Amino acid sequence: MPLATLRQVLDEAAKGRYGVGAFNANNMEQVQGIVSAAQEVGAPVIIQVSRGALSYAGKNYMRHLITAAAETAPEIPIVLHLDHGDKPETCYDAIELGFTSVMMDGSLLADGKTPSDYEYNVEVTRRVVEAAHAQGVSVEGELGTLGGIEDGHGSGEVHLTDPDQAVDFVDKTGVDALAVAIGTSHGAYKFTAKPTGEVLAMHLIEEIHQKLPDTHMVMHGSSSVPQELVDRINAALGIRHGVRKINVDTDGRLAITAALREALNANPSEFDPRAFFKPAREAQKQVAAERLMQFGAAGHAGDYQVLSLPEMAERYDRSPVGA
10-residue stretch averages of pLDDT, the chain, 323 residues long: 95 96 97 98 98 96 96 98 97 98 96 92 98 98 71 58 95 96 58 51 86 91 50 60 92 94 94 96 97 95 98 91 57
Give me the domains of the chain, ranges plus CATH numbers: 6-182+189-314 (3.20.20.70)
| Terminal alpha carbon distance of the chain | 31
Distance CA 57, CA 322 (A): 38
Per-residue confidence (pLDDT) for residue 159, from 0 to 100: 78
Per-residue confidence (pLDDT) for residue 222, from 0 to 100: 54
User: Catalytic site residue 93?
Assistant: no
Per-residue confidence (pLDDT) for residue 186, from 0 to 100: 45
Please say whether the beta carbons of 128 and 110 come within 8 A. no
Distance CA 163, CA 143 (A): 10
Per-residue confidence (pLDDT) for residue 79, from 0 to 100: 98
Per-residue confidence (pLDDT) for residue 322, from 0 to 100: 53
How many CB atoms neighbour CB 197 within 10 A?
11
Distance CA 299, CA 228 (A): 24
User: Looking at this protein, which amino acid is placed at residue 72?
Assistant: T
**Spatial CB neighbours of 71, under 8 Å, sequence gap ≥ 6:** none
**Alpha-carbon Rg for the chain in angstroms:** 18
Q: Which residues pair with 46 in a beta bridge?
A: 22, 79
Per-residue confidence (pLDDT) for residue 4, from 0 to 100: 98
**Spatial CB neighbours of 78, under 8 Å, sequence gap ≥ 6:** 3, 4, 35, 38, 44, 45, 46, 47, 66, 69, 70
DSSP class of residue 113?
A: S
Per-residue confidence (pLDDT) for residue 184, from 0 to 100: 56
Comparing CA positions, the residue from 31, 26, 9, 49 lying closest to residue 137 is: 9
Comparing CA positions, the residue from 241, 256, 168 lying closest to residue 203 is: 241
Per-residue confidence (pLDDT) for residue 132, from 0 to 100: 98
Per-residue confidence (pLDDT) for residue 144, from 0 to 100: 86
How many CB atoms neighbour CB 59 within 10 A?
16
**Spatial CB neighbours of 122, under 8 Å, sequence gap ≥ 6:** 106, 169, 172, 173
Residue 56, burial from CB neighbour count under 10 angstroms (0-12, 13-18, 19+): middle
Per-residue confidence (pLDDT) for residue 237, from 0 to 100: 65
Per-residue confidence (pLDDT) for residue 87, from 0 to 100: 97
Q: For residue 143, what is the enclosing H or E element?
A: strand 138-143
Distance CA 157, CA 41 (A): 37
Which of the residues 83, 105, 176, 251 is marked catalytic?
A: 83
How many CB atoms neighbour CB 274 within 10 A?
9
Q: For residue 128, what is the enclosing H or E element?
A: helix 118-134
Per-residue confidence (pLDDT) for residue 148, from 0 to 100: 45
DSSP class of residue 227?
A: G
